[in-house]
Amino acid sequence: MAKFQVNILGCGSATPTARHQPSCQVVDFRDKLFMIDCGEGSQSQFRKLGLKFSRLNHIFISHLHGDHLFGLPGLLSTMALHEVTGSVTIHIFREGARLMKDWMDFFNRNSPFEIIYDIIEEGERRVVYEDSGLIIETFPLYHRTPCNGYILREKPKMRHLRGDAVKFHNVPVSQLKAIKEGADFVKDDGTVVPNAMLTTDADPSVSYAYCSDTMMDTRVAEDVKGVDTIYHEATYDDSLETQARERGHSTARQAGKIATMAGAKRLIIGHFSKRYNSEEILLREASEEFPEVIVANEGLRIDLE
């Protein structure tokens, strides 16, 4: 089975604590690594999980608060020391790109790889990455500063061949890829064998949305509608709902409501305030709104397929 997996490197908010590191995730899609946010300590967590720098070529920053990018200069410097080659694309707001360029020009001017900056504009919705199997989109979140989320969508998979039917109709090997993509088979005498006779349905494609940091907003639910698995910040419990909104954050219950409105199959909560010694109350409140909730934790690997 093709790999589509989320690795949690950090799920705390604001500052590192004894329990949690600041925000960072790495999505492994068929052995290509995509990092989302890069809080302090991310490269250490990256190593602990046995991930490979050589497979990391895209880093997506949600916004310009330190707990989401203070780990980025150190990570890039370490990658340079490991002689990673090719290019690394950083998807980031314009001011963040300017700051990173100044930093890298001073500390890492002899980097063996090229750093490409893909500028995200405030409130932007667009495709920021695409290959043969995956498409990544960005969309606005609603925080105290410009902030964007990301949706990773697996492209439609090929249909499954029916070996007996393929053999019976003497389908040549050269035609199999087209048939898996949905084409009918035309025999030499002009007879058309419908695709439905030669194949069965493809496996469903999978999607994942990253929503941190944001206050609860129905526009988020609309933007991630139909996504299978949603990561949504759950910084506070119900008793701090007013504080959450004032600071541009969400409660765990609100995260559950967004997942319900979006029609998701699974919710991952994270970005926990340092005030909590246990996420039990956050899990309980989110679960009262949505049935399948996973509590993020450093080192957790979640298979999306």
88 close to 57: Cβ distance less than 8 angstroms? yes
- The alpha carbon torsion through 244, 247, 250, 252 (nearest 10 deg) reads -50
Instruction: Measure the CA–CA gap between 45 and 22, rounded to whole angstroms.
Output: 11
Angle, helix 72-81 to helix 94-107, in steps of 10 degrees: 40
Catalytic amino acids? 67
Q: How far apart are CA 252 and CA 31, in angstroms?
A: 32
Question: Is residue 285 exposed (0-12), middle (13-18) or buried (19+ Cβ within 10 Å)?
Answer: buried
Q: What radius of gyration, in Å, describes the C-alpha atoms of the chain?
A: 22
